[in-house]
Amino acid sequence: MLKEIKSKIYSLALLWGEKKFHNTASKVLYYHDVHADGEVPVTDMSTPMSLFKQHIELVKANGFEIVAEITQPEHQVMLTFDDGYLGIYKNRKFFEEHGLKPTVFIITAEIGKPNFMSATEILSLKKSGFIFQSHTHTHPDLNLCSPHQLKKEYLTSKEELTELLGNEVDSICFPKGYFNDQTIYLANLHGYNRLYASIPGNYFEKNRFNVIYRNLVQFSSPKDFKAILFGGLTFFNKR
């Protein structure tokens, strides 16, 4: 009962946010994993494919273009996934058939472990246009790390991904969404030029941390998703 009440309040907040901050600005959307309907997901953060397909249909039906990299201030959407779970690979056919080339932020210490993609699977998806960037090496709360620990997290991840992929790794998504001045300074110092957060907002929206906003949509109903697409989560950003 309490969960239902919270869900209704959240949906009302999104609708209010969409009405007050309505926009068609380009946005980054994020998920963690996807799984076929009826299949047991490998993480409780996974999105059923039936819902994910509805999201993709809504993006296109409402005049947005799904791109691998946002280049325009309006009407573009970039898809991202955190951690590197196996469901992305298992459902690759849908991505390939619809020309979807999401960015997957990889926890390098988890590569090849149960429920996570292997190096071979990552390389296979890269050939299909998937983009892989850093989610650190072990996924710690970076705000609790010493400068030495941060350096190890950043460089180990960068070096292992660069060796695996054979291309530059210059973007990072902060684990758990946590960051501060030190984590940002050292991320830049160690070669990360694009820093992705878990704060909702528009892609080109400026902030003092110079992080890129992302909008969490993995459990969004079609109605909530549409509201987010048109700025509904801006309410939470402003708070």
Q: Mean pLDDT across the chain, nearest whole number?
A: 96
Question: Residues near 235 by Cβ (< 8 Å), separated by ≥ 6?
Answer: 13, 14, 16, 17, 20, 21
pLDDT at residue 231 tops 70? yes
Phi, psi of 104 (to 5 degrees): -110, 120
* The residue to which tokens 């902030």 are assigned: 207
Cβ atoms of 126 and 165 within 8 Å: the answer is yes
Q: Percentage of the chain surpassing pLDDT 90?
A: 92
**Mean pLDDT value across residues 107-131:** 98
**pLDDT tens track for 7-20:** 888 999 999 999 99
pLDDT at residue 71 tops 90? yes
**pLDDT tens track for 140-199:** 999 999 999 999 999 999 999 999 999 999 999 999 989 999 999 999 999 999 999 999
pLDDT at 236: 77
pLDDT at 26: 98
Domains of the chain: 2-238 (3.20.20.370)
**CA 28/CA 20 separation, integer angstroms:** 20
E strand spans, 153-218: 171-173, 194-196, 215-216
pLDDT at 117: 98
Type of residue at 57: E
pLDDT at 106: 98
**Mean pLDDT value across residues 91-95:** 98
pLDDT at 238: 59
Output b/e per residue, 100-126; b: 16+ Cβ within 10 A.
bbbbbbbbbbbbeeeebbeeebbeebb
**CA 102/CA 69 separation, integer angstroms:** 9
Q: pLDDT band for 4, please (50, 70, 90 cuts).
A: confident
pLDDT at residue 239 tops 60? no
